[in-house]
Structure 1
């Protein structure tokens, strides 16, 4: 049985992952400069980091939903607020790639470790699983199954987008970092995220 809120969750994940940002720019720059092998290594590290956070959150959310429904519902409210914050950040975030996130002439193992560490220590990724994911869970006896399904869907979508960026490499870098429509795209995604967040607020507080 599929999670009831899976379609809306997939939409949110697509919007978040498709919004141009520093991580996407770093991955595109790395692939364009070091080749696809380096990009795929970094993508594997990013995927493992996201999967690790997802597994930890799945266990914690399932236990929390059983132990304290009130706190679980408060997390759902916080998730809608977090989506608004993501929309605000997407609207005004800088497009530059952090120089500390890019190391030229590194080995595939180093790029894998960097992708892994960046995501394991990324508070935004953790907040997404802890706060946004519960918004899409129906509090019943299948919380663990729903959480697992949504977590797998998130990692799959994020990894697919990262693989596409690696394959496009140079073109992706130019579009994400210096493209003339980058700001317009960011603003469009930001407005859609804000609309979804407000929709969640209305639905959650009914």
Structure 2
């Protein structure tokens, strides 16, 4: 309990709320994980989808904790590193927003399907361990939500754990929804409109972050 209190007690409430919003928007914007999990659930059922979610969560956790320790150390040692990562995060969020808007009309792609729950888990795990976007989030986006007047390593670990929890919850929802509603996910116009609205919101989060974390 003391360890949990130490990690999450260092998180600044105002930045915590914006981090949750950014994480949710990034996760519900259609992307590789979302497309793969949705199509997997539609074609192979909830069991396969949940196994893949477990693999994705494990991969995100490994990448997150590894990156968090490195990011925390770098930010503690250099204000320049903080500013570099901060602006990198703003630009990365804006790029994701633009990519989401630009690719709203494109059809979703998914990975080849496996033949067992263990294989689905392994595919989700490996995909995220080798996913540059996962590393980019932890290295570029997360530092912008750190409060420099508090120990940064516990904050980085806490935000990483929070992101994994948010991502896993959303992925479970995607699998559940996909297995229950084929019509909702097959409507191209609805999918395009949703993606563009989320892209605009993500761009606003990026601009807010640039203003909120200015020295």
Same fold per TM (> 0.5)? yes
Q: 2:134 matched to which residue of 1?
A: 125
- Residue pair 2:68, 2:156 contacting (<8 A) in 1 also: yes
Q: 1:60 matched to which residue of 2?
A: 70
* Deviation, structure 1 residue 172: 5.1
* Deviation, structure 1 residue 179: 4.2
Q: TM-score, normalised to structure 1's length?
A: 0.91
Aligned length: 204
* Deviation, structure 1 residue 143: 0.6
Q: TM-score, normalised to structure 2's length?
A: 0.88
Q: What is the aligned-residue RMSD (CA, Å)? A: 1.8
Q: 1:75 matched to which residue of 2?
A: 85
* Deviation, structure 1 residue 140: 3.2
Which whole-Å deviations, capped at 9, do the CAs of 1:34-79 have from their partners, x for residues lacking one? 1111111100000000001110111101211222221122101110
Unaligned residue ranges in structure 1 (runs of 5+): none
Paired residue secondary structure (2:55): helix
In structure 2, relative to structure 1, the CA distance for the partners of 1:43 and 1:173 (3 Å cut) is farther
* Deviation, structure 1 residue 170: 3.3
- Please give the alpha-carbon distance, in whole angstroms, between the structure 2 residues aligned to 1:183 and 1:143: 38
Unaligned residue ranges in structure 2 (runs of 5+): 1-8
- Please give the alpha-carbon distance, in whole angstroms, between the structure 2 residues aligned to 1:165 and 1:22: 13
**Given the alignment of the two structures, is residue 3 of structure 1 paired with residue 3 of structure 2, yes or no?**
no
In structure 2, relative to structure 1, the CA distance for the partners of 1:113 and 1:174 (3 Å cut) is farther
- Residue pair 1:24, 1:176 contacting (<8 A) in 2 also: no
